[in-house]
Structure 1
Amino acid sequence: MLIDFKNLNINKLSFHTEFEKKVKTFLEEWFSEKTEVSVQTSGSTGVPKIFDIEKQKMINSAVMTCNFLGLKEGDVGLLCLPVEYISGKMMIVRSIERKLKLRIVDPSLKPMEHLKEEIDFCAMTPLQVENSLDQLHLIKNLIIGGAAVSESLKNKILHMNLSNSNRIFETYGMSETLSHIGLKQLMPNQEDYFTVFENVTISLDDRGCLKIFAPNVNAEELQTNDLVDIKNEKQFKFLGRIDNVINSGGAKIFPEALEALVKKVLPNEAVFMGLPDESLGQKLILIIEGKESDEIKRKISEIPFEKNFHRPKEIIFINEIPRTPNGKINRLELYKCINP
């Protein structure tokens, strides 16, 4: 279905699928007298939580994104993310704020499978993008969030021969920042650092983790567990989560950096973890999604890891890596699978 937010009349719209009915429920909540809406976190790094957010702060967030991307009244957006989470809710709020026309499709791994029209703006997870490569030329502004964009996916995007009018960004944010507070361009230019929006201040704590002050969307300074390299007052590079850091024999290992290296040569999902080890403290292992393969093992053996201790002590193959409902790797569940 298509909702024109320039001429919105909820009562005249027909909501058929379960997902469309959830969109209707959110719209009714948004246009009610309540000043807040409820949002659920993904639970990728802990127990899922539900908390209330001021509508005005969501509008502020929407304005920052729409201004950054240059979205205007009448542009066509595509909603293909669950509306239980902030990512889906914010697609609707941006459409309301900028009076977009919003195409609604049920969330799936192939959200553009039946679409032929051009889309001005869309937000997807990396898995959705992976399954929509042949249709990316239809999207003028695509933001990718919910999980890090792998090197493998970046390479596939680069080889799509998209025009300079197709802009693709990786996002940085969380539920507490009302979706994202910064973007990093992947196409047509490849950037290494995220650039934060106006009125967003970044700094480091004594662990080297990112602190965010974005008063337009959250009155409190947010302390993350994300290890970053700050280039200047507006740009930073994500290194990894401090929760995921592996201490093996006294050496600190950032699994996200090693995963990016592996995904340059493997199409499979790959996750580095540390398992308890009497002599090392934690033993570095690599989990590969898919069937065991000597060819995959050979490719891994040829990867030029910077340090010898970056090479996994063991490779484990698993049929399916557990994920949260919005597509993020669920490292807690994965750890339980391999170390019950």
Structure 2
Amino acid sequence: MGKIILQIGSYSFEEIKNSLWTEKDPYLESSLRFCRDWLRGEMLFELSTSGSTGTPKTITVHRRQMEISAKATKDFFGIQPNSLLLCCLSTDMIAGKMMLVRALEWDADVVLVAPKENPLLELSMNREFDFAAMVPMQVAACLDSTKTAGELKKIKQLIIGGAPISPALLEKIGMEKLNAYQTYGMTETVSHVALAKINGQKPIYTALPNVGIGTDASGRLWLEAPMAQEKHLQTNDLVELIGNNQFVWLGRADFTINSGGIKIQPEILEPQLAAIVSEFFPKSDFFLSALEDSKFGQKLVLVIENTQPEQKRAKDLLMEIRKNFHKHLVPKTVLFVSDFMRTPSGKINRRANLNIAK
């Protein structure tokens, strides 16, 4: 039987089932309580959604959904018995809870680390991790540290989700030859339902076993996933289908900008602008959005996270974009927010930051 491994000591699943732990740290105690409830056969669990496209909410998920999700991931990667997992995400959210469920269902050992920017920094393990999940910020921090870059590369299967991966990080992951995958999923599907290998090419997502996919008349992805409560789950994600079980993600339909009849997908254009924005505003996060406009209906705007509204540099930035992009893809103005608001899972809250920037 597997066990939960902490910084100091460990607990077998049997000990956890019988509440035989002495941890007082809120993160560890909450995680162990969830594991105890799971081992005792609890059937229903409350999960928080990320709030990336609306107000965060709490939903109830059935145990069977999480079991199906864990099995699909195991089958996709061919996880072997006696594997070692790393859980370094918030176990209040679905991604962290599912790492615990995978360990419990796969009868694997799992190292439990409170979520931090570089979760590998204080770890000293004699065994290599067979499977781990991280958010992009954690992957970037691990790669930036000479102490942990090598340890990250030793992870046999790494899934990355929770927030978009920047073009620069995607390139670095490819250069370092990590065996890493981007995830596609949502709380309603209890973690990911599709995965895309990161290899320097445009990500192509492959659906997990037994997950059906298709698109509606608007090109929005629908899912028929056994781990979802709804038999037919309509998403707001625009995709390009490739065969019966693969797709390329194009962006959110509700983020689509219609400027003078020209439809712009911010999440497609943003990676293309990243190098130029970085040249003028190094290490600043940004996103594209729209404001109402009497002439065009909507006008494209660039929102940059920067402590000062540097209009001269912004003007030079727009001039450089004009040299490289069609006029319809050039933002009409640049707005600044000193500190971006983010969702609990770390995604940029576009609507809230646009309201601040107006």
Please indicate, yes or no, whether the TM-score normalized by the shorter chain is above 0.5: yes
Unaligned stretches of 5+ residues in structure 1: none
1:88-138 per-position Cα deviation (integer Å, ceiling 9, x unaligned) = 110000011111211111112222221243322111111221212143223
Deviation at 1:308, TM superposition (A): 1.6
8 Å CA contact retained: 2:318, 2:331: no
CA gap 1:335/1:307 in 2 versus in 1, 3 angstroms: same
Corresponding residue SS for 1:53 = strand
Residue number in structure 2 paired with 1:233: 244
Corresponding residue SS for 1:322 = coil
Corresponding residue SS for 2:153 = helix
Residue number in structure 2 paired with 1:251: 262
Residue number in structure 2 paired with 1:34: 42
CA gap 1:67/1:109 in 2 versus in 1, 3 angstroms: same
Residue number in structure 1 paired with 2:32: 24
Residue number in structure 1 paired with 2:214: 203
Alpha-carbon distance in 1 for matches of 2:318, 2:94: 37
1:77 aligns with 2:93: no
Deviation at 1:192, TM superposition (A): 2.6
> Which of 211-220 and 88-97 deviates more?
211-220
Give, as a single letter, the amino acid of the residue that structure 1 aligns with 2:331: P
Deviation at 1:8, TM superposition (A): 3.8
Residue number in structure 1 paired with 2:155: 139
> Which of 310-319 and 177-186 deviates more?
310-319
TM (norm. structure 1) is 0.90
8 Å CA contact retained: 1:58, 1:217: no
Equivalent residues in 2 for 1:57-96, closer than 5 Å: 57-96=65-104
Equivalent residues in 2 for 1:60-209, closer than 5 Å: 60-117=68-125, 118-133=128-143, 134=145, 135=148, 136-160=152-176, 162=177, 166-187=178-199, 190=201, 192-209=203-220
> Which of 115-124 and 279-288 deviates more?
115-124
Corresponding residue SS for 1:272 = strand
Give, as a single letter, the amino acid of the residue that structure 2 aligns with 1:311: V
Alpha-carbon distance in 1 for matches of 2:117, 2:246: 31
Alpha-carbon distance in 1 for matches of 2:134, 2:122: 16
Among residues 332, 335, 340, which one is paired with 2:354 in the alignment? 335
8 Å CA contact retained: 2:87, 2:132: yes
Deviation at 1:7, TM superposition (A): 5.0
Residue number in structure 1 paired with 2:223: 212
Equivalenced residue count is 334
Alpha-carbon distance in 2 for matches of 1:235, 1:301: 38
1:23-71 per-position Cα deviation (integer Å, ceiling 9, x unaligned) = 0221233234431111111111111111111111101100111221222
Give, as a single letter, the amino acid of the residue that structure 1 aligns with 2:235: T
> Which of 297-306 and 69-78 deviates more?
297-306
1:178-214 per-position Cα deviation (integer Å, ceiling 9, x unaligned) = 1001100014x74531000111111111111000001
Residue number in structure 1 paired with 2:5: 2
Corresponding residue SS for 2:198 = strand
Corresponding residue SS for 2:121 = coil
Unaligned stretches of 5+ residues in structure 2: none
Give, as a single letter, the amino acid of the residue that structure 2 aligns with 1:100: A
CA gap 1:297/1:129 in 2 versus in 1, 3 angstroms: farther
Identity of aligned residues (%): 36
RMSD: 2.2
Alpha-carbon distance in 2 for matches of 1:300, 1:120: 46
CA gap 1:298/1:65 in 2 versus in 1, 3 angstroms: farther
> Structure 1 residue runs of 4+, over 6 Å off?
3-6, 293-297
Alpha-carbon distance in 2 for matches of 1:123, 1:323: 20
Corresponding residue SS for 2:75 = helix
Equivalent residues in 2 for 1:257-296, closer than 5 Å: 257-265=268-276, 266=278, 267-291=283-307
> Which of 271-280 and 150-159 deviates more?
150-159
Alpha-carbon distance in 1 for matches of 2:251, 2:174: 24
Give, as a single letter, the amino acid of the residue that structure 1 aligns with 2:98: M
